[in-house]
Amino acid sequence: MDRYRVFKKQTFSSGNYSLVPIRHEDRYSIMQWRNEQIYHLRQDELLTKEKQDQYFTDVVSKLFPQESPNQILFSYLKNDKCIGYGGLVHINWKDKNAEISFIMDTSLEEEYFEYHWSKYLELIEEVAFEQLNFHKIYTYAFDLRPRLYIALANREFRKEATLNEHCLFEGKFVDVLIHSKIKLTMILREAASDDLETTYTWANDKLVRTFAYNQKRIEKEEHSEWFLSKLSSNNCKYYILEENKNKIAGSIRFDIDDMGSSAMISYLVDPRCTGRGYGTYLLENGIKKLVQTKPNIDHVYGFVIKENIASIRIFEKLKFSISYQNDREIKFEKTIA
């Protein structure tokens, strides 16, 4: 297998699917798919075996040893069979962005188009964001394949721009759409009075109330008094989770006992952001942040209603142990000293 100098690891996998540095043996399959799908590619004429051989010799083979190649190409495999190819192209190393390219075996498109695009995006995101630490990746596509937008939306790519009538296609000018995704960055910061509105909305959210001990609707005044008292209390540390550019995504609160040695955890994720690992991030990193400011705390605990499967899973994942349970709830505890 050829190896890219830019990578520490060469194979990126998810289940049966993987990306590996583009394989010489896959060049004619790739040529065939490109020719079959020429209508949506920036390619003027059909490829021949000779041209494809020359491209692999002149261009592809030179990418592997480079420190900053302008493109990085992969074979997309199911087990060991190549069923597509693509990569990061027009790489801008300075601004840490790149365009995504991908085509799959044409025979898979009818039934599995969205599936393979989504799988491929998952893998290429790992390459771009985790391996190369890029800031942004994007697709540039003629507005001809609406199914592509479903796959992009599945992976939370946002439509960023329409280039009106940008390309000439079969005698007509068609739009080009750019969809992009920016690397997720998360921080935990201290809660502040500006967070009153957001925390009030959360307090009355259906999911939050379902798993809360007091299930009654909370009035604004009551919340306001409670929230501000928590901010000013020495026995409380209250953190807000922010994702990219100040988007508030959750909170974690630690109510500390009078001895200053233990803290009770309450945490929640904005209902629009659940299922993305934020709950796990909040609990894991909230505790780390807590002990930085309150080093005397030696254990933390939380009560979870038994139906709250997601929260139970998080406590278990983070190696809390059960110190008490009854028909309704479980107490999870962890020593952190």
Ligand X SMILES: CC(C)(COP(=O)(O)OP(=O)(O)OC[C@H]1O[C@@H](n2cnc3c(N)ncnc32)[C@H](O)[C@@H]1OP(=O)(O)O)[C@@H](O)C(=O)NCCC(=O)NCCS
Which residues lie near ligand X (CB under 6 A)? 207-208, 211, 267-269, 274-280, 302, 304, 308-311, 313-314, 317
Give the number of residues written for the chain. 337
Q: Return d(Cα 56, Cα 68) in angstroms, integer.
A: 18
**Residue with smaller CB distance to ligand X, 15 or 275:** 275
**Residue with smaller CB distance to ligand X, 107 or 323:** 323
The alpha carbon dihedral of 170, 173, 179, 180 has a sign of: positive
Q: Return d(Cα 205, Cα 199) in angstroms, integer.
A: 10
**In whole angstroms, how close is the CB of 253 to ligand X at the nearest point?**
11
Angle at 70 between CA 72 and CA 2, to 5 degrees: 35
**In whole angstroms, how close is the CB of 330 to ligand X at the nearest point?**
9
Q: Which residue has its beta carbon closest to ligand X?
A: 279
Q: H helices of 187-250, where? A: 196-203, 206-210, 220-232
**In whole angstroms, how close is the CB of 331 to ligand X at the nearest point?**
10
**In whole angstroms, how close is the CB of 233 to ligand X at the nearest point?**
20
CB of 18 within 8 A of CB of 11?
A: yes
Amino acid at 154: N
**In whole angstroms, how close is the CB of 124 to ligand X at the nearest point?**
21
Q: Return d(Cα 320, Cα 315) in angstroms, integer.
A: 5
**Residue with smaller CB distance to ligand X, 174 or 264:** 264
Strand 158-169 with 172-182, pairing: antiparallel
25: its two tokens: 């043996």
**Residue with smaller CB distance to ligand X, 52 or 251:** 251
**Residue with smaller CB distance to ligand X, 49 or 189:** 189
**Residue with smaller CB distance to ligand X, 35 or 274:** 274
**Residue with smaller CB distance to ligand X, 268 or 300:** 268
**In whole angstroms, how close is the CB of 214 to ligand X at the nearest point?**
13
Nearest CA-CA partner of 69 in 135, 136, 3, 9: 3
- DSSP designation for 258: T
**In whole angstroms, how close is the CB of 286 to ligand X at the nearest point?**
11
